[in-house]
Amino acid sequence: MKTIILTDPTMSSHELLQQNYELVIVTYQFLAAQYRKLKGFLAAQDRKLRGLDSSQRSELVALSIFSPIYNMLELPIKHLVIDEANYGQDIQGLSHQAFTALYRTSTVLITGTPFKNRWSSIYPLIDLLPGHPFKTEGIFQHAFGPFSSLRQSTQQFNRLVKFLQAITICRPADILQLPNARIIRAEFNLNAVEDSLSTYWFLRWQHVLKRLREKRAHAGQPGPVNEAADFKVTYPLLLQATQYAVHPALAAKTSKIAATEAQKLKQRIADIYHEHTKDKDTKTDPLFTAANGPPTTGPFERPDWEELLRDHEEALELYGRVRYLFNAPGVSLGKLFEGLDNKDKKKKTTAPPAQKDKVRKQWLERVSKMSPNELYSSRVRKIIELIQSFPQTHPGQKIAIFSRYLKLLDIIAEALERLGKKDNGIQCLRFDGTMDASARISSRYMFRRSQSPTTVMLITAGAGGAGMNLNSASIVIQAEPWWVATEEWQAWFRVRRPGQEREVSIYVLEGSNSLVDIHIAQARDSKAEVIGEFMNHLRLLDEEELIIPHITRHW
């Protein structure tokens, strides 16, 4: 079978047809780039036809696989193989549109993660296969269950397994004979400030979400669809909790919702406190303590304070965490809420590139001027401790650090730079969405060739979570738990892949006292369990017998 791995964007459709290739292998990046060129060309032609563009001619583009000549000659690409097909799982995304726009006879999708977050995430991949019977999401849901359900009925589960067995070839990872991987849960404690603020927003999120669902139930509107909608509405509160747990600097500018809630918290505690102390000396009011710290005694130490709080349901849930604030030297509640902007904000718009560059430059300048106390959050401190320990425990091994937060990586980079001034043996490289293709290639090359005693690559999940080879590293640090287990696996397998010669050590950071870290990890694990049930039915060796689940005749 005549085959081509298509990577040359200048190859024309005529050249491809002349060679009469039967099998064409492409990556999602190549497809997306070709599709963007096609859309740009069509948009230019449209502007010209409508008289919005007075130029004489449009620049011709080379489209090796999206050319209309395939349709005109009725010569589809015979067999198309798409690597990293999981990038087509956003059914509204550009990659999915590019996949479905191709004129081809058959499609082979290659992915290490056919399920993304839920069982229903398999549908966009099925939609990429020519001739599949589920032309709409509604038909798919009628057969296998609503997308909003975390779990299906046994009957629906068995139906989907049987269908996937007919179109899927899945092999266990151990056939690659890769070195072992150790997954280490690297626990640490958030400090009092991080713990208190993160917990507050997490409890507020739970409280608001619970109230919304109670209202749904009273109105006779329960169900997974409405639950998903309620989660989306309340997500800004959960995001605020997550940001404080990751690094307080990430939450310095809050949403209007968060700012309003913070002001309510201040006022509610102040009102309760002043009511409690109205007949007492309030000169040492701990709510507005100066930087010298709280007094040695205060209302939180009095036995009747808990009784008072029990009469205030909303304040009670804050009690256990708020008291930590007054045990933190040099910190006042008023100081902690500085910087929360409670003013009306303009409607969110997409900033022009120049504005984005300016904002990022200001952020990086701010990071460079951070004091040690501001820079070294509990999470950053734990990461630095691990890196400093590796020359003794993993001498000469390179480190890949993944995070979903670009700003957290900026902070880690600054911490490593300051550490490097004391120890010249540290080289820190970046791989993220702010870098162009040539800069990314250069960074990977330098990482592979580095001879420094400690070499670190800081990678955002979106930029380096898939389609990247980092087998020159053997240590992975995942800076925070992620919602989707398959995305974690994709990141880890950038390091543990063919060509790796060492055992891979994977450190996943979790705040042991962080409610939001614990919640995300539990949600991730419960969804991974469902996906694992499917994979157990699909994953088998060549010599293994396929076990087809039993289903009734009635769909």
CB under 8 Å to 272, separation ≥6 — which residues?
A: 308, 309, 312, 315
Token pair listed for 194: 């991080």
- The residue among 469, 248, 238 whose CA lies nearest residue 371 is 248
Joined tokens for residue 457: 């690559």
The three-state secondary structure class of 295 is coil
Residue 227 dihedral angles phi and psi, to the nearest 5°: -60, -40
**Domain edges within the chain:** 3-111, 176-189+352-526, 193-247+254-336
d(CA 129, CA 149): 24
DSSP conformational letter for 352: P
3-state secondary structure of 11: coil
Residuewise pLDDT in 10s, the chain (555 residues): 899 999 888 888 888 888 889 999 998 888 888 888 888 888 888 777 777 766 656 566 678 888 888 888 888 888 999 888 888 888 888 888 888 888 889 899 988 888 887 888 899 999 988 888 898 888 999 899 887 777 888 899 999 999 999 999 998 877 878 888 999 999 999 988 888 888 878 887 887 888 787 777 777 765 555 666 777 778 888 888 999 999 999 985 544 444 455 555 555 555 655 555 555 444 443 333 322 233 333 333 333 434 444 444 444 444 444 443 333 333 343 443 333 333 333 444 556 777 788 889 999 999 999 999 999 999 999 999 999 999 999 999 999 999 999 999 999 999 999 988 777 688 999 999 888 888 888 999 999 999 999 999 999 987 765 557 899 999 999 999 999 898 898 899 899 988 888 999 999 999 998 999 999 999 999 888 888 889 888 988 888 888 887 765 544
In the block, which residue shows the tokens 């500085």? 338
Length of the chain: 555
Q: Is 409 helix (H, G, I), strand (E, B) or coil?
A: helix
Helix axes 256-277, 303-310, angle to 10 degrees: 130
Measured CA to CA in angstroms, residue 529 lies from 125, 173, 183 at distances of 21, 18, 17
How many whole angstroms separate alpha carbon 429 and alpha carbon 458?
A: 6
Sign of the CA dihedral running 305, 310, 314, 317: positive
Return left, alpha or beta for 147; rule: phi > 0 is left, psi -120 to 50 is alpha, else beta: alpha
pTM (predicted TM-score): 0.76
Q: Pick from 277, 279, 326: which is nearest to 300 by CA?
A: 326
- What fold is seen in the domain 176-189+352-526? Rossmann fold (3.40.50)
CA distance 12 to 66: 10
Terminal C-alpha separation, the chain? 40
Residues 6+ apart with CB under 8 A from 488: 478, 482, 508, 524
